[in-house]
Amino acid sequence: MALGLETAQAEYKLNLMQGVTKLSHDVYDLHMLILWVCVVIGILVFGAMFYSIYYHRKSKGHQAAQFHENTTVEIIWTIIPTLILVAMAIPATKTLLEMDDVQDSDMSIKVTGWQWKWEYDYLDNGIHFFSSLDEASNKARQIGSGIDPRSVPHYLLNVDHPLVIPTKKKIRFVFTAADVLHSWWVPDFGWKKDANPGFINEAWTYIEKPGTFRGQCTELCGKDHGFMPIVVIAMDQPDYDAWVKKTKEEAQKGPSLENQSHDELVSKGAAIYSKNCSTCHLPDGKGVPGAFPAIGGSAVVKGDINAQANLIINGKGGMPAFGKMLKADELAQVITYTRNALGNTVGDEIQPKAVQEMLPKTSAAAAKPAVVAEKAAPVADMSKDELLALGQTVYTSNCVSCHQAEGQGNPPMFPALKGSAVVTGDINKQIDLMLNGKGMMPGFGHSLKAADFAAVVTFTRNALGNSVNDLVQPSTIQKLQAEMPAANDDDED
């Protein structure tokens, strides 16, 4: 990031920038040529018009002529523009052909547009990262942030991870998108190219001298379209090689328990938030009232940081236990992020080490043997009343946040359980749905114990206004759970 800060702001320009590539110079020349053609035609036409307006007015006693056609003149002013256009088309065609020639490139970078960030894959050396708006701009851009954009270096044109490329190499970019249309534009390169989901596009550049070049997304892609800039840093080959080496080494290090700066925690937390939290709490942290609490202004998030960390690690109600899914540094990042973004400005942070200590000893890898151990010990059958009583507590802590206390649900997102076709229908189907989840409904097969699971199934069928009058024993559930694939989180690919 520090690389991008030589000047606080770009210089102000009136005309198209010339850019730093041959292509951008060609485009600039075309632009100037056609501009001057327009200026000259404009002077002639407007000149004649204003001459006429000045001299051929009634107040000056000018008598109106009555001519209304002149074939010669009309032919002349059809032919001359045609010739000018042909003259323009020749250099334009040449430039277009040159831009189109992506063959013989020295390296390829895949660029993927996301709402609202860019993903870069170096196809030749495996380097891969996301690049989003830098934290300083992101803070300042919020309504009522109280931060003067002029005090932010490269406001809205700075990113957390710039794209780094070598100079004097023909670099081919391959564009695609993961959600909606985007368009990748660095004016200094002389072109922009759309990124379309499902399809690829190509373009290329060749940069002579090192430098930092900034651009933005130019295809409307939703609310934060204005906030996904592009920063490209061109380095001479040795510097670039050093960058590659450093970046690869960093990537190979596992989860780091080293302390990270506040800004780093926040900016990395944003990606983790959007990957893990935004489906329920929404990308802007506003949540879904009645179902998923808002992050912005939340008492939990603004309260004690350790209590928040505890909740995220161990889950509560509909909130899954993320201690099993995320690593210590990722948890620290996302916690710090929620406290300092999405409308919150608590200003504090938590370090990976602190989170590591709070994590349950049986995290990730240890989780599997635990399930196996439970499998060995058979569970005892329970009476219907026992099941109902236990089911009530299990329901309260796992289901009410979505399906509500009386089972009335929160349509259309969360169906009512009272009178539900699933709950009053085939018990095996209900069990299957609850084990594996469906749509927004999480799978509870791994998170509930067999007894709890059986109890809550029985409870829903015989309470909350339902009276199917059947039950399921924990032993049945235990068997089904044993058949389920293990819940591991081998996310790396």
Partner 1 sequence: MSAAVAEHDDHHDDHEHHDHGPEKGLLRWIITTNHKDIGTLYLFFALAMFFVGGTMAMVIRAELFEPGLQFVQPQFFNSMTTMHALVMVFGAVMPGFVGLANWMVPMMIGAPDMALPRMNNMSFWMLVAGILLLSTTLFMEGGAPAGGWTLYPPLVLQTGKALPFAIFSVHLLGISSIMGAINIIATIFNMRAPGMTLMKMPLFVWTWLITAFLLIAVMPVFAGAVTMLLTDKFFDTSFFDAAGGGDPVLYQHIFWFFGHPEVYIMILPTFGVASTIIPVFARKPLFGYSSMVYATASIAFLSFIVWAHHMFTVGMPIAGELYFMYATMLIAIPTGVKVFNWTATMWKGAMTFETPMLFSIAFVVLFTIGGFTGLMMSIAPSDFQYHDTYFIVAHFHYVLVPSSIFILMAAGYYWLPKWTGHMYNEKIGQLHFWLSTISVNILFFPQHFLGLAGMPRRIPDYAVQFADWNMISSIGGFIFGASQLLFLYIVIDTIKGGTGEKVTNEVWEDAHKHGLEWTLPSPPPYHTFTTPPTVIPTEHV
Partner 2 sequence: MSEENKQKNSKLVTKLVVVVLAMFGFGYALVPLYDVLCDITGLNGKIEGVAVQEQSYVVDKSREVTVEFMTSLNESAPMVFRAEMNKIKVHPGEYYTVNFYAENKTDKVMVAQAIPSISPGLAAQYFKKTECFCFTEQTFKPREGRTMPVRFVIDPKMPQEYKLITLAYTFFDNTERSLKK
Catalog residues that contact partner 2 under the rule CB under 8 A: 102-105, 108, 110, 112, 123-124, 172, 174, 176, 178-179, 196-202, 275, 436-439, 443, 445-446, 484-487, 491, 493
Minimum distance from residue 297 beta carbon to partner 2 (Å): 27
In contact, 291 and 319? CB cutoff 8 Å = no
Q: Which residues between 41 and 60 bind partner 1 (CB under 8 A)?
A: 41-42, 45-46, 48-49, 52-53, 56-59
Question: Binding of partner 1 at residue 219 (CB under 8 A)?
Answer: yes
Q: Distance (Å, rounded) from C-alpha 287 to C-alpha 279? A: 9
Q: Distance (Å, rounded) from C-alpha 463 to C-alpha 471? A: 12
State the burial class of residue 317 (Cβ atoms within 10 Å of its Cβ: 0-12, 13-18, 19+).
Answer: middle
| Residues sharing a CB contact under 8 Å with residue 399, sequence separation 6 or more, in sequence order | 318, 417, 456, 460
Select the binding partner of residue 104 from partner 2, partner 1, none (C-beta < 5 to 8 A, by kind). partner 2
Minimum distance from residue 205 beta carbon to partner 1 (Å): 12
Minimum distance from residue 94 beta carbon to partner 2 (Å): 16
Q: Which residues between 139 and 168 bind partner 1 (CB under 8 A)?
A: 140-143, 145, 147-150, 154-157
Question: Binding of partner 1 at residue 16 (CB under 8 A)?
Answer: yes
Select the binding partner of residue 483 from partner 2, partner 1, none (C-beta < 5 to 8 A, by kind). none
Angstrom distances, CA of residue 65 to CA of 44, 47, 51, 69: 21, 20, 16, 12
Give the HSE-up count for residue 342: Cα atoms under 13 Å, Cβ half-sphere.
Answer: 30
Contact residue for partner 1 among 1, 22, 25, 34 (CB under 8 A): 34
Closest C-alpha among 159, 155, 139 to residue 147 = 139
In this complex, which beta carbon is closest to partner 2, that of residue 37 or of residue 321? 321
To the nearest 10°, the Cα dihedral for 117, 121, 122, 127? 90
In this complex, which beta carbon is closest to partner 1, that of residue 224 or of residue 374? 224
In this complex, which beta carbon is closest to partner 1, that of residue 157 or of residue 448? 157
In this complex, which beta carbon is closest to partner 1, that of residue 90 or of residue 377? 90
Closest C-alpha among 324, 328, 336, 333 to residue 356 = 328
In this complex, which beta carbon is closest to partner 1, that of residue 29 or of residue 470? 29
Number of residues that bind partner 1 (CB under 8 A): 98
Q: Which residues between 94 and 123 bind partner 1 (CB under 8 A)?
A: 95-97, 99-100
Select the binding partner of residue 486 from partner 1, partner 2, none (C-beta < 5 to 8 A, by kind). partner 2
In this complex, which beta carbon is closest to partner 2, that of residue 198 or of residue 411? 198
CA angle 373, 378, 380 (to 5 degrees): 140
Q: How far is CA 401 from the centre of its chain?
A: 27
**Where are the extended beta strands (E) located within 178-329?**
182-186, 191-195, 201-206, 211-217, 230-235
Q: Which residues between 76 and 95 bind partner 1 (CB under 8 A)?
A: 77-78, 81-82, 85, 88-89, 92-93, 95
Token representation of residue 442 = 């999480």
In this complex, which beta carbon is closest to partner 2, that of residue 174 or of residue 456? 174
List residues bridging with 272 in a β-sheet: none
Token representation of residue 119 = 């993903």
Question: Binding of partner 1 at residue 211 (CB under 8 A)?
Answer: no
Contact residue for partner 1 among 136, 171, 217, 427 (CB under 8 A): 217
Select the binding partner of residue 268 from partner 2, partner 1, none (C-beta < 5 to 8 A, by kind). none
In contact, 390 and 377? CB cutoff 8 Å = no
